[in-house]
Amino acid sequence: MRCQPKLMLAFCVTLAVVPAAGNAAESDAALLKQAQELFAKLPADFSDAAHPITPERVALGKALFFDPRWSIDGHISCATCHNPALYGVDGLSRSMGVLGRVHPRNAPTVLNSAGDAVVHWRADRKDIEDQAILAAIGAVSSGHSDHAGWIAKVKAIDGYAAMFQRAFPKEQDPITSANLGLAIGAYERTLVSRASFDSYLDGNVAALTPEAQAGLNTFIEIGCTGCHNGAGVGGAMLQKFGLQQDYWTATGSKTVDKGRFDITGDQNDLYVFKVPSLRNVAMTAPYFHDGSVASLPDAVRVMAKVQLGRTLADKDVRDIVAFLNALTGELPKDFALAPVVPPNASAAQALPKP
């Protein structure tokens, strides 16, 4: 039926608007269904049978996480590179460690990291507990060459013996590398930051702005979800960085990092890195394993180009960034509050805020 001018104007407008509204609702529902199939909400915490979370372990883990005194120079803690004020990163391309030593790669956020299936850019850690254990003897992270070094430092700080005993009551001498990992791991497994995207996945379509929904749609359509999926929107697999072209031509990286190849020597692992979680990505610049890209829009363009062989329109970039902003979660309760470590049996001393 063709509408005539003037007389049929109101009727024509009605015909145009009603189907559009219906189509929009159907489109919203279809996008939500896709998202629910590809992603998942974050859990309340990342505990499991092998890694229980107890108040005593969390208190000990948090104290160790923020305490620089057990590093070789007494100046570097876990929180130095994973600063609560910066969403669990340090804002540097590559972190500064003990004695002014520079880490070879960018520090990822500690938030939600316990949910990742692989740990470290080159997946050379089994889990976050293993990461803590090996960081305790890292040349850059702690400076100790063996576990005896940091154990001696911890035992020299009054109060830690009692905290370890409370956290591991069945052990006669609980200050061990395994228990260090379990304690710091217990604390990190509480660092969950749920975002508006989790509310969206619960069915609240209005939790995402129209721009963010458009970005989510584009994110799915162009193939980003091939690697960035699940509860972490990434963090579950390894992938070559530069499927379509050498990554350093797009990032301007000063050093070409061979990635997992340097661990395995396998040519199939050349330029292979962990696919990072995109949770809180808008707050954790600079980007990539070497912190070579400063802005999120530029990082989106780089990924589209080197992984998917696509050059995105400015609107698509803005929409995807809007979606990524919806992955910014609330900081965990008390994350930024420094722990209290008793220096002796009769007094308590609060560590300075990181």
Torsional sign, CA 100, 102, 106, 108: negative
Residue whose token pair is 């009727």: 11
pLDDT value at residue 106: 98
Burial of 149 (0-12, 13-18, 19+ CB in 10 A): middle
pLDDT for the residue numbered 268: 98
Side chain identity at 88, as an amino acid letter? G
Name the residue among 276, 211, 264 with its Cα closest to residue 237. 276
Q: What is the 3-state secondary structure (H, E, C) of 265-322?
A: CCHHHCCEEECCCCCCHHHCCCECCCCCECCHHHHHHHHHHHHHCCCCCHHHHHHHHH
What pLDDT, on the 0 to 100 scale, is given for residue 23? 84
pLDDT value, residue 22:
64
pLDDT of residue 16: 36
Asked if residue 288 lies in contact with residue 251, where contact means CB atoms within 8 angstroms, the answer is: yes
DSSP SS3 for 231: coil
Global pTM?
A: 0.89
Q: To which H or E segment does residue 349 belong?
A: strand 347-350
Q: What is the pLDDT of residue 342?
A: 61
**Token reading at 339:** 């722990």
Cα 287 to Cα 251: distance, rounded to the nearest angstrom: 10
| DSSP string covering 60-103 | HHHHHHH-GGGSSSS---HHHHSBGGGTTB-SSSS-B-GGG-B-
| Residue 11 Cα distances to 4, 15, 22, 89, 327, angstroms | 10, 6, 17, 57, 42
The three-state secondary structure class of 7 is coil
pLDDT of residue 238: 98
Q: At what angle do helices 128-135 and 177-188 cross, to 10 degrees?
A: 130
Stretches in the chain below the pLDDT threshold 70: 1-22, 341-342, 344-354
288: left (phi over 0), alpha (psi -120 to 50) or beta: left
Residue 2 has a pLDDT of 34
All domains in the chain, ordered by first residue: 55-192 (1.10.760.10), 193-325 (1.10.760.10)
